Chain A
């Protein structure tokens, strides 16, 4: 564990989503934000309210424990502008790209970039392609992309450098909804072809 300034702690963990769920479950007084990263959980507390987190560094989810998070299915039209490029890089056909992408179960590891943007892990090895060398100035909301070990869905129009393989009609982010984001850390995600 290491401090992230006066009012936060950064905890290294192999399962950020599970540790986040456990910290939230314990409802520690003073904790304001619990933000997972790729291999960490950031716990932020209100001034003067440092919680006891001594247990967290060695905490492991019980083998029998139910996994935190919901099951989410996202329907995708696999007609993204980079589908053929991704297939060529992977040395497979576009249909194989779709079969691989729909055949895996992903986990929302962490968020960032924009409200509702989840970094999903579990991408099959052949689909791990680098981001585009020149990012697009505008990616539409609902675009399904790949970059490195991650896949994800753009929640709203924005610039973006991920390889776009498809498009969903589903709403990823609505600030007026409860919860506002379709995807939360720990959720398990399947993509299905529509």
Chain B
């Protein structure tokens, strides 16, 4: 099996796919890529199924070498990418010759970049996912210098991208259930070989669906939640983004019996709101004042510490 070698892992590079779905009742977080649309774009560019496992690169510092010619693509955070020192594009398929050093440097805009390799990262799945779960420790650990990661089989090679009709042989077949193969997407990925990378706004506006425990807060707290520019603190990670701002006084001060949580939940312990991201605990004992829309979660994932986010109330009908 082909593999890639991690020459320099960087401070926080993990393997991510869509995550572990359906195990919450046993205490298993979902995990998965924080910027899922960026993962899908990267996989599309190299002809993988949308949720094939790729590398989530946080804070850059990644250097990898492949033992054969491969096709890769980098999406999400705007990290300088180079092959043996030659700059390569963002949001396009890039050919990497065997033995060349592929380098992902620290993000200039955004936080998390996704490096997909044709064929996908083929580490052993755990409960149906190859994702590194930083909270529970499931899946492969964070990358370290010298790690070797197996790659799935792919027909893609630089200068030899398969024709549309050959797409059925491409990548991740051992990983995906038959119904998950996106043959049209695979074909389109090779045909287009570039995707529109959305701009990462400096001050994103996140739509928030109120509740389920909005009534546990004073009206002033609800007003403050939506009127305040919130600062993402440096204690943010894959579990959650901690937001710094005004106090959110409670109307009900009882202890909340533990209840299920979702990514996007704005849980409010006394220390201030935490916007839960993919590695969040499955149950929690603090009230959730509102939940960020799933389509806006990628914006939260790309908001660096010290940046400002705005919350906009978006009632579900």
Contacts and interface: CB of A to CB of B under 8 A. Distances in A.
Contacts of A35: 24-25, 260, 282-283
A47 to B, nearest CB: 7
22 contacts: A3-B209, A4-B262, A5-B264, A5-B265, A5-B293, A5-B294, A6-B209, A7-B262, A10-B260, A32-B22, A33-B21, A33-B23, A33-B260, A39-B259, A42-B261, A44-B260, A111-B282, A114-B27, A114-B136, A115-B27, A116-B26, A175-B126
A42 B294 contact: no
A110 B21 CA distance: 17
Given A33-B21, A39-B259, A42-B262, 6 more contacts: A4-B212, A33-B260, A37-B283, A40-B259, A115-B23, A184-B26
B211 interface: yes
Nearest to A158: B137
A47 B18 CA distance: 14
A154 to B, nearest CB: 12
Nearest to B291: A5
Contacts of B22: 32-33
A38 interface: yes
Interface string A22-52: 0000000000111111111110100100000
A119 B283 CA distance: 11
Contacts, number: 122
Nearest to B137: A156
Contacts of B282: 35, 111-112
Contacts of B234: none
Dominant SS at the B interface?
loop
Nearest to B210: A3
Contacts of A2: 211-213
Contacts of B257: 37-40
Interface of A: 2-8, 10, 20, 32-42, 44, 47, 110-119, 156, 175-176, 179-181, 184-185
B257 to A, nearest CB: 3
Contacts of B26: 111, 115-116, 179-181, 184
Interface string B237-279: 0000000000000000000011111101100000000000000
Interface residues of B, number: 36
A5 B25 contact: no
A4 B292 CA distance: 10
Interface of B: 21-28, 30, 126-127, 136-138, 209, 211-213, 257-262, 264-265, 281-284, 288, 291-294, 316
Nearest to B209: A5
A181 to B, nearest CB: 4
Contacts of B136: 114-115
Contacts of A37: 257-260, 283
A176 B138 CA distance: 11
A10 B24 CA distance: 14
B294 to A, nearest CB: 6
Contacts of B25: 20, 33-36, 111, 184-185
Contact of A6 (B260, B288, B316): B316
Contacts of B294: 5-7, 47
A69 B293 CA distance: 34
B182 to A, nearest CB: 16
Contact of A111 (B126, B265, B283, B284): B283
Contacts of B127: 175, 180
Contacts of B316: 3, 6
A39 B259 CA distance: 7
B283 A110 contact: yes
Nearest to B284: A112
A156 B282 CA distance: 17
B287 to A, nearest CB: 11
A4 B69 CA distance: 46
A4 to B, nearest CB: 5
Contacts of A8: 260, 262, 291
A115 B291 contact: no
A32 B21 contact: yes
Contacts of A41: 260
A20 B282 CA distance: 15
A136 to B, nearest CB: 18
A175 B138 contact: yes
A28 to B, nearest CB: 13
A130 B26 CA distance: 25
A156 B27 CA distance: 13
Contact of B265 (A4, A40, A116): A4
B291 A4 contact: yes
B191 to A, nearest CB: 26
Contacts of A175: 126-127, 138
